[in-house]
Structure 1
Amino acid sequence: MANDFHDDLVAPGTSGLPERFFDRFMFNLHPADATAPSVIMGFGHYPAKDVADGFAIVSTEKEQRNLRFSTELSCTDGKGAGPLSFEVVEPNTAWRLKLDPNPSGMEYDLIWRARTPYWLGEVAVTNADATPTKFEHLVQSGRYEGTLIIDGVRQDVGGWYGQRDRSRGVRTMSGGQGLHIWFQAQFPDRSVGFLLVEDRQGGRLLLEGAILHEDGGLDDVVDVRHALNFDTLDLTSGTIEVSTKSGMRYEIDADASGGGGLMAGAGYGGHHGRPRGRDHVEHEVYPLDGSVNQLTVDSSLTDRLTAYTWNGVPGTGIFEFALTRSSSYTYRPTLT
């Protein structure tokens, strides 16, 4: 694996960084057959605000459990906070992730190992209020080894899929967006991934990503079209067509009906990086009976464990989506 991306998070005490600078990671963990549970975890440093915070959520067949934690960055060793600790075992190749006992009832001790090269780009967007967004963005597919415990029941997660996402820079995404997709489809020999953002008129604001192959190949995404089915703001199914620089075209069907993955439970919606003092912990449970949905929480962003099919080959992964809640927007398919 290439090792030129600086994989460790910026150290506590680092000075001279912009007020809105962040350095974050996110990992997901799920079986290869798209059955629950789906685990998503994340953590970030905000040096100018002296904040380190993170989250861990698990979606089962019946509920989503949310754990959020925060502390002062200056009182950490830079390797975690609250119940979460992590270690970059080998940059861009292996991480250890550990979640100690906590109110959610979920614990884990995991090793994530890369199965593909990483894709690294730069997200640069001019927002509606003219404030710039500019940050490095890395994605990479891997598999896990280790143990996941939910309510005392231990599971061996050997061979489970996991996509990681690293981002570092300045981000303020404010207004004007209609559709957001972060698409990660894991197939036995490759991962299909992209980030697509459209405005409220259906115009493209951002497209980046690549097909990451287990044999080391990387094929940039050059175009994406979509025909998605929503129940109000919740994705249920659809088809994605991905075109690549080499001339490949992937038509991928998605079944996103499993539920869960509401990222409001992970602190999305503007809560990351807010000072909350030392050793702050929050926890709640969302029942997956429809009573908690994209209209009742403070962010419509959803990371849904999804079953995929491409050319007869089954796959699985996270389909992250968000439709604006503005009445000025109506979803427009681009694939007919």
Structure 2
Amino acid sequence: MSIETFRDALVAPGEAHLPDRFFDRLMFNLHPVDATTPSIILGAGVYPGANTIDGFLVVTGAEQQENLRFSSELAATDGTSVGPLRWTIEEPLARWRLRIEPNRTGLEGEVVWTARTTPWIGSVRVDNTAEPATTFDHLFQSGTYAGTLRLAGRPLSVDGWFGQRDRSRGVRTMTGGQGLHLWFQGQFDDRSIGFLLVEGRDGSRLLLEGAVMPTDGPLDDVVDVKHDLDFDRDLDLRTGRLRVTTSGGFDYDLTIDASARGAYMAGAGYGGHHGRPVGVDHEEYDVYPLDGSTTPLTLDTALTDRLSHLRWGDRRGIGIVEFAHSRSRSYHYRPSLRPRV
């Protein structure tokens, strides 16, 4: 898969000759360049074999996380909207317009995402013991936003906000055996550092993909990631260190402050709910208090997209650190980066 062959639009309703478990998904995050609230994550996916289209909106503030999940029959839509969410590709791989209609989270409005880096695009294959192989095309790309939203009735300018988008398309059936999952998207003023790392419960590497994406220059593929992460007793990430090595021979030593709460992706339906047929115009809403009572142990998935402060040398950054620490008693986290003496 390459930039020249990647189709940015989601597959349309009625597209034929697709595998039964085929999916096509988009995800955007929006966040300030210097603060961890508010953190906004939205996404949608189509599942032709199930005649389903669904989406989500997650709004994380200092005291609570609001979640809206919505779904419909794919044949009942044009494939570019679901629930309160609408999207338009104004220029493939360069500019998307996102509109959020009034909904129970109190977030609404219209914004434009514009790319600030070349996208990283790759193809993933992971063999599974009892399921068909996972095979999907994957893209992520850093951008900035322009526009004004309204949150709880107040205007919220997102001009200059950072945001990573993620596109994935194919068959994904990864089941069990994973110990650590990291999807890291660090935003610095002149580059984005993005990778996906999955390790087995024995610490073996199952998957590593990604690149350093400069705002001016070619991609530099990630070839190694070492980590020293501090999880609390509820399996929530608090702080961490990473060493990201690229094919160009560069080492990025990064520190993570993930002490902000929230962005638990169970609220977005990531606990195995995506693609399930539930009829036309279905909607669910809930709120997670961020007082310590909601944790990766209390939800149906540990997956968390934490907006975190980052540091690379004397340079400050910010970005989404998506993590999941296995809840299996057979797994014990093992750092691969030596602790500092």
TM-score (norm 2): 0.97
The answer (yes or no) to whether the contact 1:194–1:221 under 8 Å persists in 2 is yes
Letter of the 1:284 counterpart: D
Letter of the 1:266 counterpart: A
The answer (yes or no) to whether the contact 1:128–1:175 under 8 Å persists in 2 is no
Residue 293 of structure 1 aligns to a residue whose secondary structure is: coil
Whole-Å Cα distance in 2 between the matches of residues 116 and 151 of structure 1? 32
Letter of the 1:308 counterpart: L
Letter of the 1:261 counterpart: A
What is residue 144 of structure 1 aligned with on the other side? 145
The answer (yes or no) to whether the contact 2:94–2:114 under 8 Å persists in 1 is yes
The answer (yes or no) to whether the contact 2:50–2:275 under 8 Å persists in 1 is yes
What is residue 304 of structure 2 aligned with on the other side? 302
What is residue 275 of structure 1 aligned with on the other side? 277
Deviation per CA, 1:54-103: give whole Å up to 9, x if none. 00101000000000000000010111111110001100000001110011
What is residue 243 of structure 1 aligned with on the other side? 245
Whole-Å Cα distance in 1 between the matches of residues 49 and 231 of structure 2? 39
The answer (yes or no) to whether the contact 1:194–1:210 under 8 Å persists in 2 is yes
RMSD (Å) for aligned C-alpha atoms? 1.1
Residue 53 of structure 2 aligns to a residue whose secondary structure is: strand
What is residue 329 of structure 1 aligned with on the other side? 331
What is residue 39 of structure 1 aligned with on the other side? 40
TM-score (norm 1): 0.98
Letter of the 1:237 counterpart: T
Deviation per CA, 1:93-130: give whole Å up to 9, x if none. 00001110011111131100000000001111012324
Q: CA deviation at 1:173?
A: 1.3
Whole-Å Cα distance in 2 between the matches of residues 322 and 34 of structure 1? 23
Q: CA deviation at 1:293?
A: 1.0
What is residue 125 of structure 2 aligned with on the other side? 124
Residue 74 of structure 1 aligns to a residue whose secondary structure is: helix
Whole-Å Cα distance in 2 between the matches of residues 169 and 190 of structure 1? 28
The answer (yes or no) to whether the contact 1:3–1:91 under 8 Å persists in 2 is no
After TM superposition, the structure 1 stretch with the greater mean CA deviation from structure 2, 130-139 or 177-186, is 130-139
The answer (yes or no) to whether the contact 2:241–2:253 under 8 Å persists in 1 is yes
What is residue 58 of structure 1 aligned with on the other side? 59
Whole-Å Cα distance in 2 between the matches of residues 148 and 274 of structure 1? 30
What is residue 266 of structure 1 aligned with on the other side? 268
The answer (yes or no) to whether the contact 1:128–1:176 under 8 Å persists in 2 is no
The answer (yes or no) to whether the contact 2:131–2:173 under 8 Å persists in 1 is no
What is residue 104 of structure 1 aligned with on the other side? 105
Q: CA deviation at 1:35?
A: 2.7
Residue 265 of structure 1 aligns to a residue whose secondary structure is: helix
Whole-Å Cα distance in 1 between the matches of residues 309 and 37 of structure 2? 11
What is residue 288 of structure 1 aligned with on the other side? 290
The answer (yes or no) to whether the contact 1:3–1:92 under 8 Å persists in 2 is no
Work out whether 1:311 is the aligned partner of 2:319. Answer: no
What is residue 17 of structure 2 aligned with on the other side? 16
Letter of the 1:32 counterpart: V
Whole-Å Cα distance in 1 between the matches of residues 217 and 90 of structure 2? 20
Work out whether 1:93 is the aligned partner of 2:83. Answer: no
Q: CA deviation at 1:148?
A: 2.0
Q: CA deviation at 1:24?
A: 0.4
Letter of the 1:275 counterpart: P
Whole-Å Cα distance in 1 between the matches of residues 217 and 11 of structure 2? 28
The answer (yes or no) to whether the contact 1:188–1:315 under 8 Å persists in 2 is yes
Deviation per CA, 1:258-294: give whole Å up to 9, x if none. 0111000000011000001000011000000011111
Q: CA deviation at 1:236?
A: 0.3
Whole-Å Cα distance in 2 between the matches of residues 249 and 194 of structure 1? 14
The answer (yes or no) to whether the contact 1:134–1:171 under 8 Å persists in 2 is yes
Runs of 4+ aligned structure 1 residues displaced above 6 Å come to none
Whole-Å Cα distance in 2 between the matches of residues 34 and 328 of structure 1? 37
Whole-Å Cα distance in 2 between the matches of residues 56 and 251 of structure 1? 32
The answer (yes or no) to whether the contact 2:258–2:309 under 8 Å persists in 1 is yes
| Structure 2 residues not aligned, in runs of 5+ | none
Percent of matched pairs sharing the same residue? 58
Whole-Å Cα distance in 2 between the matches of residues 169 and 219 of structure 1? 25
Letter of the 2:37 counterpart: A
Whole-Å Cα distance in 1 between the matches of residues 186 and 273 of structure 2? 28
| Structure 1 residues not aligned, in runs of 5+ | none
